[in-house]
Structures are given as structure tokens and as C-alpha cells.
Structure 1
Amino acid sequence: MTEGGQPRSRSFYVLGFFFLLFLAFLYGPMIVIFVLSFQGPNGGMSFPMVGTSTTWFQGLLQATGRVGDIPSAFQRSLGLALLAAALTAVICVSAGMGFRRRFPGAALLFYTAVASLVMPSLFVSFGIALGFKELGWRTGLFTSGLGAQLTWTLPFGLMITFATIGRFDRRYEEAATDLGANSWQRFRDIIFPIILPGIIGVALFGFTLSYDEFARSSLTVGNQNTLPLEIWALTTAATSPVLFALGTVTTVVSFTVLTLAMLTIGLIVRRRAGGRLSAERSAHG
């Protein structure tokens, strides 16, 4: 095969082969889990398949000693992830707007905020739990658990927000100022709509990081397990395809959230492009 009249080099095929290996390594286990989750009632955790059924998915809806309380754990993780996503977006946008102007200690403050990325997650969880104990406070899902999640979601959110706001063209803001807009009107009508795709990306990161987090939740959520903790407990108690069914469900939820976020961003970008095109036609008309 040729591209632009030039034969493709051997390195092209070598890199393509390694890319295919990467895809197989990444998605192969997911496909196997998806297939095995539909084992028949008498099936095991390996091939060959012994019939097909949705028995193992039905078991997830029941809070039993064998399966664990998956529905409640899912609801807790979903609520915690949504709250972490919202707080991450609000805090990061506020910080991004504040860092638009240089101030003494800005660099030190930024690196302090992202320092938790290089700390072992288990140590962060242990430190927060120990701090609550020394202060006489009880650890809980939406107190110490939420704080532990934010030490993981905020650094990523800050870096995405700073990159998004850093690309913002201030000429739009200056034009709004010339037209008499105050600071709130500039943010609401100019800045926020332009950086909205980046904000959705920040919230998406916050949701997925919180929803999947295990180590930082292990010692900070109190006596109520999140879904990752429930899955960990399940691996030591269940030896049936119910684990595969659970993996399939959590994967579908993650991909659904990702797809909705990408569709929303695409819709915003398309509407913005359509509005810009209409403005240009009006200007030339």
C-alpha cells in the first residue's frame, strides 16, 4: 500500500502491529469478562460456556451475604462521585480565574495543591483517618471520604482548568468590557460559555477518579463501603461469574458517562461553530 505515492516503510507496519497488541491487551480482558458474565446458572469462571443466562446480573440486584450489598454500594459511590465532580469543577474554575493574575506565592500554592499526586494514596487515606481520630471526629462517606477523594480529583482538575483558561483569548473579554459589561457579566456571558467544554472535562475526570478510587477510600469512608471496596470484599468471598457481571455493569456505567460527556461537548462546540458562522454571514451580509 502507498500513501501519497510513497511506499510505507517497514516501521509503519511494526508500529501498527504493536498498536494492535496494545488494543488486544487493553480490551481483550474486558471482552472476556463481558462474555463470561452471561454464563449459565451452572457455569463457572472460565471457558467453556455452560449455557447462557442473565442469572448473575439478577444476583447483583439482591443484597445477599454471597454477593454483598452491591445496590447500596453503587448508590453511595454514584452520589459521592457526582458530588466530587461538582466540587472539583467549581473549585478548579474558581482557582483558574484567581490564577489569571500573578500574585506572590502563586507558584508555591500551585505546586502545593498538586503535591498529593506524588504521595501514595494509602498514606493519604491513613493520614486523613488519623487526623479525624485525633480530633475526635468520626470518619464518614461525605466528610473524610469526600475530602480524600478531592485530594485525588482536584490536582488533575486544576491542571486541565489552567490549560483551558490559558488558551482563552482575552480579546473577547476586553470587547465585553468596552461594551460596559461588569466582571460577573463577562464571566457569565463570555468566559463561561467558551470554557464550558473544559469544565465538563474537569467534572468528568472528577467523576471517574472518584467512582473508581479504592486506596484513598479504604480508611476514610467509615463503615459504609463504596463500590470499589465492595468489589474488593467480593473477590475474597465470591467465586462465581457474579464478579464478571459486576465488572460488565461498572464498565457500562463508565462508558455511558464518558459518552454523554463527549456528546455534550460535541454539541456545545457545534452550536458555537454555528453561531460564529451566522455572525460572520451577518457581518458580510
Structure 2
Amino acid sequence: MNERGRRFWILATVFALFTLFLYGPMIAIVTLSFQGPEGGLTFPMRGFSTHWFAELWKGVGVVDIWAAFGRSLRLGVIVSALTLAICVPAALAYRIGFRGATLLFYTVIASLIMPSIVVSLGIGLEFRLMDDEIRTVITSHETSSGLFTSALGAHLTWTLPFGLLILLAAFNRFDRRYEEAARDLGASPGQTLWLVILPIIAPSLIGIALFGFTLSWDEIARTSQAIGGRNTLPLELRGLTQTVTTPAIYALGTVTTAVSVLAIGTCLGLITLLRRRRVRH
């Protein structure tokens, strides 16, 4: 018992230190964002207030931080929806099987292996070449790069592989007897998909939507060379770290973290409701 107790406390200590290592920086930033008007960028704290959140609301320097916030939010929602819309039929196709499936799978996964900055540079170069060709026809053309063109494509190269992997894992555990029972009861292929398959894998679909949003919301490297003229919030935040010397930068970090936590909490709540509904029925 003594040996077992000692082993438990050693492992518990290691786990606690690991958790502190993971979440310590976030806790420090959130804590420092609630400093008083005389607060600085390091500990110890000087007072406690929401002063820097009020300053953040007014704006941070010459950057329109709330416009960047809105751009990132809209981009994240669209990336989430497209990731879901593309991955579901792709995973269904893999269930049926098709020629070249293995090669296509490794091609998709290769996007996760490539360094993010290289992917960003490649997409940026692709759009610059496209712009050169367009200018030969339309001389007044400026650029095709932008939030919902090149940046959207860059984010999808990051989210689609994750979405496909999640759905392939979900279908690997899927009991095909549910489909057979639906067909025996006269359901068409469309009804089987809509009324049987999708409700069963709904938690995985919510997870894919969450992945799509959070990966897009925090993305910097893949966006840096492919964004065009207007930055997303993470890029503006990176730039502000070089110029802003007040806890307003920590207040912004707290707000962005709160958005991620809210998205995660909402998705977990939906998954819990779906599971309870399934148990009741």
C-alpha cells in the first residue's frame, strides 16, 4: 500500500506540473489582463480592474482591432462550414471505395506534413501567378488574394485533413446493421443517410465543425503569405506584440481565448444533449 501510495503521488505531481506547463501561460495572461490602470506587463499585479478591457474596446493604437476580430470570426465560421460540407461526402466516398483512394488519402494527409509557412508561400505564389495572367486580359486588376479566396484556401489545407481523419475514424466504428435495418424498413438511400447515419455520427460532425473554427481562429503561419491586404486577428495580434506595451494586449488575448472556450463549450453542450437524447430514445 505504501509503495502504491508513493507511486500515485509521484504520478500526480508529474501530471500537475505538466498541466501547469500547458495552462500556466494562459493563466498568467488572463490574470495580468485584469490589472489596474497602473499595471504593467509583468508580475506583481498592480491593482485589479477591467480597465484594460475598456481600453481595448476603444481600440489599440492605429489598428482597427474589432474589424480584424470580425474578419477572423467570419472566416472561422465559413471554414467550419466548408470543412463539414466537404469532409462528409469525402468520407462517404471512402466508405464505398473508389480507384485511387489510397493515393488521394496520402495526398490529403501530406498537407499536415508540409511546414505551414511553405504551404502559405505556395498559395501566395499561386495567386500571384494567377494575378499576372489576369492582368494580361484586365490591366486594371489588382489582386485575387484576400480573406475569402487565398486565406480561405490556406485554412482549408489545415482543417480538411483533420476533418477527414475524424470521420474515417467515426465510420470505422459505425455499425452497418443500422443501415441494413433502415433498408429493410423501406428507407431510401437518402433517408438512410439523413435519418440514420448522420444522427449517429452527429457528435463527430460537431467535433469537425469545432476543429474547423478553432484551427482557423488561431491560424498564423498558413495565413501570413496568403491573406492579401487585410490581416486576421492573430496576425494583428502578432504585430501588436511589437508595439503595444500595456496590459491591453493581454486583454485582447483573454478575449480571443474566451471565444475559443465559448466555441468548445457550446460544442460539448451539443454533444451532451445529443447523447442524452439518444439514451432517451
Paired with 2:151 and 2:260, the residues of 1 have a C-alpha distance of 21
**Offset from partner CA, 1:86-125 (integer Å, 9 cap, x none):** 1111111111111102222111111111111000101101
Aligned to 1:81: 76
Partner of 1:61: 57
Q: Secondary structure at the match of 2:12?
A: helix
User: Residue 65 of structure 1: CA displacement?
Assistant: 2.5
Which of 100, 109, 115 is matched with 2:110 structurally? 115
Q: 1:274 to 1:7 in 2, by over 3 A?
A: farther
* 1:131-175 CA distance string (max 9 Å, x none): 111111520000010000000000111100100112111111111
Q: What's 1:244 paired with?
A: 250
Query: Matches of 2:116 and 2:45 in 1, distance apart?
Result: 39
Of 178, 181, 186, the residue aligned with 1:180 is: 186
Aligned pairs, number: 270
One-letter code aligned to 2:75? L
Deviation at 1:12, TM superposition (A): 2.6
Q: Tell me which residue corresponds to 1:220.
A: 226
Q: What CA distance in whole angstroms lies between the structure 1 residues aligned with 2:37 and 2:94?
A: 58
Aligned partner letter, 2:119: V
Contact 2:179 2:196 in 1 (8 A): yes
What's the RMSD between the two structures over aligned residues? Answer: 1.4
Q: Residue in 2 aligned with 1:10?
A: 6
Partner of 2:86: 91
- The gaps in structure 1 that reach 5 residues or longer are 276-285
**1:1-285 equivalence runs, <5 A:** 8=4, 10-65=6-61, 68-136=63-131, 137-275=143-281
The answer (yes or no) to whether the contact 1:78–1:211 under 8 Å persists in 2 is yes
d(CA) in 2 for partners of 1:100 and 1:47?
55
1:278 match? none
Structure 1 vs Structure 2: percent identity of aligned residues?
Answer: 55
Q: Which 5+ residue runs of structure 2 have no aligned equivalent?
A: 132-142
Distance 1:60 1:80 in 2: 22
2: CA distance between counterparts of 1:63 and 1:226? 16
Q: Is the 8 A contact 1:62 1:70 kept in 2?
A: no
